[in-house]
Amino acid sequence: MTPPPGPPAEVAVVWTALGTPTAPTAHAVRPFLREFLTDRRIVDLNPLVWRAILELFILPRRARVSARKYASVWLDDGSPLLIHSLAQVDALASLVTGESPNVRVELAVRYGEPSVATVLAQLRAAGVGRVLIVPAYPHYSQTTVGSIYDAVARCVLAQRDQPELRFVRSFPTQALYVEALARSIERVWEREGRPDFAAGDTLLLSYHGIPVAMAEAGDPYPQECAATTAALRVRLGLDVEACRETFQSKFGPTPWLTPATIDEVARLGAAGVRRIDVATPGFAADCLETLEEINLLNRERYAEVTAHQGKFVVVPCLNADPLFMSAVAGVIRDGLAGWI
């Protein structure tokens, strides 16, 4: 009897981001929000009850509101998140395939297209037998990385010939990642001048929040964010007063991780802090949460409480920054060990 063939030599790396609506319109935003808000990793309520609330009360209004927010940051070429994510894939492909030609790098998104299911099906059809999933999140949370794991598992659940899978969980203190963050902040300081921390100027490190109940149930996300914050404080030579950790993007009535970024911005501004810099270490690419929520909404809040007398500086996300891409390429090399 002829033995079955072994797995194909081809290997794929799937860089997996959150996703984006296809256009800044209520019509396009509504299905995107529906997919996002029906993910049990995001909203863990009775599905039947929650779906009724979502369809009747939340989506009709939130789709319109979100569409206006997306329109405020939309670029000529489309969604900022998608544009930056594609640039990241191009950079990673150059770094990884330059060393290992049999490795291909693809983009997938958790919500929207190209979906995890679409990309994995295309790889399977192309005969790729080994797949490394790399979430575009430096910090693990059930709401992000955990949800990507779920999506991948659902795709292969019914397959008889399943691919060999590996996952990158997180990299909150990877040396080049921390260095890339520090240098991105320092580049802004070269342009804007270094804050006067002795006079009370403050650097906020704003991470996406999660409900307190999730953290108390065992989600390690707060600890991973704290690890990045601690590493950045050491690298930048700042103490906890000069470099503060905050959380943004609260959704719903339940308690979320605190302090909230917008509350801290208002508190510091009202206390007379003359300059606030904000960096967002948990976001691999600029998106609605950084471009609209931080750069517009939080900036406006600071201007309100300071009567436009203070200075509010936003540090761009790392996007396709070469040092960050080298950091991710290092993570990928570790994940591919033994395959290439």
User: 11-171+323-335: which CATH topology?
Assistant: Rossmann fold (3.40.50)
Whether the predicted pLDDT of 9 surpasses 70: no
DSSP element (H, E) containing 302 = helix 299-306
DSSP element (H, E) containing 207 = strand 202-208
Whether the predicted pLDDT of 4 surpasses 50: no
Buried b (16+ CB within 10 A) or exposed e, 94-118: ebbeeeeeebbbbbbbbbbeebbee
- The tens digit of pLDDT for each residue in 220-237 reads 999 999 999 999 999 999
Average pLDDT, the chain: 95
**Alpha-carbon distance 315 to 185, whole Å?**
6
Whether the predicted pLDDT of 6 surpasses 80: no
- The tens digit of pLDDT for each residue in 103-137 reads 999 999 999 999 999 999 999 999 999 999 999 99
| Sequence-separated (6 or more) residues with CB below 8 Å from residue 135 | 16, 144, 145, 148, 167, 168, 170
pLDDT for position 159: 86
Percent of the chain's residues with pLDDT above 90: 92
Residues 148/56, Cβ–Cβ less than 8 Å: no
pTM: 0.95
Domain 175-314 annotated CATH 3.40.50.1980 = no
Burial class of residue 242 in the structure, from the number of CB atoms within 10 Å of its CB (0-12 exposed, 13-18 middle, 19+ buried): middle
Buried b (16+ CB within 10 A) or exposed e, 203-231: bbbbbbbbbeebbeeebbbbebbebbbbb
Amino acid at 98: G
Domain ranges of the chain: 11-171+323-335, 175-314
Whether the predicted pLDDT of 58 surpasses 80: yes
Residues 114/192, Cβ–Cβ less than 8 Å: no
| Sequence-separated (6 or more) residues with CB below 8 Å from residue 39 | 111, 147
Q: pLDDT band for position 98 (50/70/90)?
A: confident
- The tens digit of pLDDT for each residue in 273-304 reads 999 999 999 999 999 999 999 999 999 999 99
Asked, colleague to colleague, whether 11-171+323-335 and 175-314 share their fold, the answer is yes
Q: pLDDT band for position 13 (50/70/90)?
A: very high
